[in-house]
Chains A and B, each alone.
Chain A
Amino acid sequence: MKILIIEDERQLSDNIAIYMMQQGYLCERASTYQTALNKVCVYDYDCILLDLTLPGGSGLDILQEIRRRNNPAGVIIISAKDSLDDRLKGLAIGADDYLPKPFHLSELAMRVYAIIRRRSIPANGSNTIVFGNLSIDIFQQSIRVEDQTALTLTHTEMELLLFLISNKERTVTRQAIAEHLFGEMSDVMDDFNFLYSHIKNLKNKLKTVQCDFEIQSVYGIGYRLKRI
């Protein structure tokens, strides 16, 4: 899976690249408008992370070029400009997602995972993810191992599981999880106790189906999906 990171802030693109490479993606970087445009025209990528303000031009123009060439790459706009106009414009031109800065790398990994997954949905429309010995039915919100009967998850548990899967073997903070599940609503809570019940339930359900991954708690600051 190949990702192109178009971002002029070198440090940020480095960090993104390191994190994504740890996740098993191949990463390339472009930090100016021109190099980005060249790469987009020459190579194929599964996913492109696109900053809008670039030296030499606007990211929206690159997006337009990508879509004009019928390039099927998934595009996620990462921008410090969290303006509604840009968001709508970007999505109208054909971006698949919009992630305002600053973000957690785990959140970015989740979005990339979701886009690549969506692009690989087979034509018959079945939407099943295979992860370890687990098959996850996104539509039915259920999980099962091999021939067992399926176990239904709640909406939140499903979201949580996908988030952990897209960051498998990584430590994700409770903050990142809370933000992913509840957005800005999570800001109010003085602690993350409200996450515990969801995590506990999901943990138990994974155990019940005898999944070969388990949710480990990391010193009470985060969680990690780890192969047993």
Chain B
Amino acid sequence: MKKDYNLQSILNFRIGLCMFLLLLLSIPVLYYITRNYYAEDIEDIVIHYNEKGTLPQIDLEEDIREGMLLQLILSVVTLCCGLYIVTVWISHSFWRSFEKTLKHIADFRLESGVIPPFEESDVREFNQLNRQVIGLMQNNLSSYKAQKEFTENASHELQTPIAVMQSKLDLLLQTPGLSEEQMKLIESLNEETHNVSRLSRSLLLLSKIENHQYHQQQWVDTSELLTKMERKLHEMTDKQVSLTMTEEPVRLLCNESLLESLIRNLSVNALRYGDDIKVSLTPQQFEVSDRNESEALDSTRIFERFYRSETSSKGHGLGLAIAKAICQYYQWEISYRYEEGRHIFRVQFATDGMPSSRHTQA
């Protein structure tokens, strides 16, 4: 990258350089002018008196040179000091509002939906800049909002036609005298309908999380939730599922259905791709791991929407994106790592989400 300097030092440097060159060039001119106009008469007088021998020997030329040099140096120093002071002052007062604008732009987050308060400046150009930036932010925000609403509305509007489709299939299934082939066709239609409905439900959930529609929160007994879920997992699979928890129940301040969704998505992910599933819960973190000798997943991409590794078949590629969105919503930290043949997903709870420790201290 090209090295850059701040505006003030560039100004200082360029003005200084220009002054220096101009002064350098002006020395002969000044000398000529002083000699021929300003000191001309004095010279005549000196020559005149010298001829009569009444004056001491004076070297006027040298005097002029020295005087000029002194004057020049003084004026250069004065100018430079003045310039320096002026530019420092400018950068401190005028550029301050520009730097504030810069900071506002840097801190601006589309997700927050808030336009930072720009202060009125004395400089018209900066005010213009601020106005343009505010306009730009407003445009961005409104198109971002429109896009989010679109996703939500689209998945919303899909639910009714899917419901109609589903109900027709359910009725079709009851028709007497269906052949096995027809039944199988209905079944595969059924399955696709189910997938579409699942997809739109997941998209709806994602956009709802992003639109901050889960204000409702309460202290959720996570240990109990996990125990219930483990029981269901056991009924569904022969794979080994083990659950370890701290003795004291872990309670989290969050939305119960979101927490359930997070836990379900992670455990179900493990169940789908691996064996020997281990789930653990402490007041600080929740961890799910499964044994699978395949390679480590691409940790930078697995939380992306619709990202699927080559081996994954059935998932719609939104489970981990949902898990991540939920974690972001509560400022929990979700991470993935691969260690000794195990895929490990960990959710680190924020410390202020930990009522149980605070509770015991109180």
Chain B nearest CB from A16 CB (Å) reads: 6
Q: A106-B170, A182-B236, A185-B232 are in contact. Are A175 and B194 (CB under 8 A)?
A: yes
A18 on the B face (CB < 8 A): yes
B171 on the A face (CB < 8 A): yes
Q: A101-B160, A175-B194, A187-B198 are in contact. Are A83 and B213 (CB under 8 A)?
A: yes
Which residues in window 256-288 of B have CB below 8 A to A?
257, 264, 268-269, 271-272
B173 on the A face (CB < 8 A): yes
Q: A19-B171, A171-B174 are in contact. Are A102 and B166 (CB under 8 A)?
A: yes
Complex Cα spacing A218 to B165, Å: 21
Complex Cα spacing A212 to B49, Å: 150
User: When the two chains form the complex, which single residue of B162, B233, B236 contacts A101, counting CB atoms closer than 8 Å?
Assistant: B162
Residues of B within 8 A of A9 (CB): 160, 163-164
> Which B residues have a C-beta under 8 Å from some C-beta of A?
156-157, 159-160, 162-168, 170-171, 173-174, 180, 183-184, 186-187, 190-191, 193-194, 197-198, 201, 204, 208, 213-214, 216, 229, 232-233, 235-237, 255, 257, 264, 268-269, 271-272, 313-315
Q: A102-B193, A186-B236 are in contact. List 4 more A-B contacts (CB 8 A).
A: A100-B159, A184-B264, A185-B232, A188-B271
User: When the two chains form the complex, which single residue of B187, B197, B268 contacts A221, counting CB atoms closer than 8 Å?
Assistant: B187
Contact in complex: A102, B180 (CB < 8 Å): no
A162 on the B face (CB < 8 A): no
Contact in complex: A188, B156 (CB < 8 Å): no
> Which A residues have a C-beta under 8 Å from some C-beta of B?
9, 11-12, 15-16, 18-19, 22, 80-85, 88, 100-106, 156, 170-171, 173, 175-176, 182, 184-190, 194, 198, 218-219, 221-222
Chain A nearest CB from B328 CB (Å) reads: 19
Residues of B within 8 A of A221 (CB): 183-184, 186-187, 190
Chain B nearest CB from A106 CB (Å) reads: 6
Contact in complex: A173, B159 (CB < 8 Å): no
Contact in complex: A101, B170 (CB < 8 Å): no
Contact in complex: B235, A12 (CB < 8 Å): no
Contact in complex: B160, A12 (CB < 8 Å): yes
Q: A80-B160, A188-B271, A194-B235 are in contact. Are A104 and B255 (CB under 8 A)?
A: no
Residues of A within 8 A of B229 (CB): 185
Q: Is the interface of B mostly helix, strand, loop or mixed?
A: helix
Contact in complex: B216, A15 (CB < 8 Å): no
Contact in complex: A80, B214 (CB < 8 Å): no
Chain A nearest CB from B267 CB (Å) reads: 9
Residues of A within 8 A of B216 (CB): 84-85, 88
Complex Cα spacing A187 to B195, Å: 9
User: When the two chains form the complex, which single residue of B162, B171, B233 contacts A102, counting CB atoms closer than 8 Å?
Assistant: B162
Contact in complex: B171, A15 (CB < 8 Å): yes
Q: List 11 A-B contacts (CB under 8 A).
A: A15-B168, A15-B170, A81-B156, A104-B170, A156-B235, A173-B190, A176-B170, A185-B232, A189-B236, A189-B237, A221-B184
Closest partner residue, chain B, to A222 (CB atom): B173
Contact in complex: A105, B208 (CB < 8 Å): no
Residues of A within 8 A of B213 (CB): 83, 85
Contact in complex: B184, A80 (CB < 8 Å): no
Contact in complex: A101, B171 (CB < 8 Å): no
User: When the two chains form the complex, which single residue of A80, A84, A219 contacts B180, counting CB atoms closer than 8 Å?
Assistant: A219
Contact in complex: B313, A190 (CB < 8 Å): yes
Q: A102-B197, A185-B233 are in contact. Are A80 and B163 (CB under 8 A)?
A: yes
Residues of A within 8 A of B313 (CB): 190
Closest partner residue, chain B, to A51 (CB atom): B160
A-B pairs, 10 with minimum CB distance: A102-B163, A15-B167, A80-B159, A105-B170, A101-B163, A188-B268, A221-B187, A102-B162, A194-B236, A219-B183
User: When the two chains form the complex, which single residue of B162, B194, B204, B214 contacts A84, counting CB atoms closer than 8 Å?
Assistant: B214
Chain B nearest CB from A138 CB (Å) reads: 19
Complex Cα spacing A222 to B197, Å: 20
Residues of B within 8 A of A176 (CB): 170
Chain A nearest CB from B225 CB (Å) reads: 13
Most buried by A among B170, B183, B184, B198: B170
Contact in complex: A170, B204 (CB < 8 Å): no
Chain A nearest CB from B211 CB (Å) reads: 11
Q: A12-B160, A182-B236, A188-B271 are in contact. Are A19 and B167 (CB under 8 A)?
A: yes
Closest partner residue, chain B, to A15 (CB atom): B167
Residues of A within 8 A of B187 (CB): 173, 221-222
Residues of B within 8 A of A219 (CB): 180, 183-184
Residues of B within 8 A of A12 (CB): 160, 163-164, 167
Complex Cα spacing A102 to B190, Å: 12
User: When the two chains form the complex, which single residue of A19, A194, A218 contacts B183, counting CB atoms closer than 8 Å?
Assistant: A218
Residues of B within 8 A of A185 (CB): 229, 232-233, 236, 264, 268
Residues of B within 8 A of A103 (CB): 163, 166
Complex Cα spacing A85 to B217, Å: 12
Residues of B within 8 A of A194 (CB): 235-237
Complex Cα spacing A19 to B264, Å: 33
Complex Cα spacing A156 to B232, Å: 10
Q: A171-B173, A190-B313 are in contact. Are A105 and B235 (CB under 8 A)?
A: no
Most buried by A among B165, B166, B198: B166
Closest partner residue, chain B, to A81 (CB atom): B156
Complex Cα spacing A12 to B191, Å: 19
Chain A nearest CB from B347 CB (Å) reads: 19
